[in-house]
Amino acid sequence: MTTTTSDAITAPADDQSLAVSQGMWGAGPGDVSGFGGQRHPVWRQQPTPRPYGGWFDAAVDRLAELVEGLDPDGASLAHGELTIPVPKELLLAVARAARDDPALRFEVCVSVSGVHYPDDPGRELRSVYHLLSITHNRRLRLEVAAGQDDPKIPSVTAVYPMADWHERETWDMFGIEYTGHPGLTRILMPDDWAGHPQRKDYPLGGVPIEFKGAQAPPPDQRRSY
């Protein structure tokens, strides 16, 4: 993400601007950080033209060869890292191919994380898988999109058992429902907690606390700018 305080915001040639958020957290008037003047363009990475260079082209082509329907030209390259967008219905097939094929051998799913793009209708939620090949000393990202109205994505725990708690945390924070997960329950917040705190539309809020008879209001009510 690019940050600027200028009124003139220019998107990189290979990116598409979704929106411009304001303040430290993109929370609008409820932002109490003191940085309400900051404006953050929200970018959506576009596919990178070929060739990618290095081992990237061969890896993408191999995955497309192994998994029918995977777009071999949909990947994006940024900061020396490759991200492959994967339709949710192909996720398990791509994960198995990435793990098992001798030319790929991404044996480890290092983490599963979430992203929220509220201004991308039907694709507001993204589940991102960070894969590591110990055999070849390489890293690869897979990205799967889902809509807020149907936030279901297949669990990869059958392929990468270590993704269990990562998927639980992503469900807890972003509300992505990993179908087939062995026990999709909250892992950070209490079981009866309402909402998913790392979504960008989640209210800042807070719990009122009393100090010797005085009461401190929630963070978004303490001061205004």
Question: Model-level pTM?
Answer: 0.79
∠ Cα 133 171 201 (to 5°): 115
Query: Per residue in 102-138, pLDDT tens?
Result: 999 999 999 999 999 888 899 999 999 999 999 999 9
Closest CA to 39 of 53, 50, 23: 23
Rounded to a whole number, what is the largest CA-CA distance in the chain? 68
Q: Where are the domains of the chain?
A: 1-45, 47-195
The answer to whether 86 touches 66, Cβ cutoff 8 Å, is: no
Q: How far is CA 95 from the centre of its chain?
A: 17
How far apart CA 194 and CA 95 sit, in angstroms, is: 32
| Helix residue spans in the chain (DSSP H) | 56-66, 91-100, 164-174
Q: Report pLDDT digits (tens) over 16-47.
A: 556 677 766 655 555 666 676 777 776 777 89
Residues pairing with 132 in the sheet: 108, 139
Tell me how far apart the alpha carbons of residues 4 and 208 are, in angstroms, rounded to a whole number.
34
Count of CB atoms within 10 A of residue 126's CB? Answer: 20
Domain 47-195 has CATH 3.30.300.30: no
* Predicted confidence (pLDDT) per residue in 154-188, tens digit: 999 999 999 999 999 999 999 999 999 999 999 99
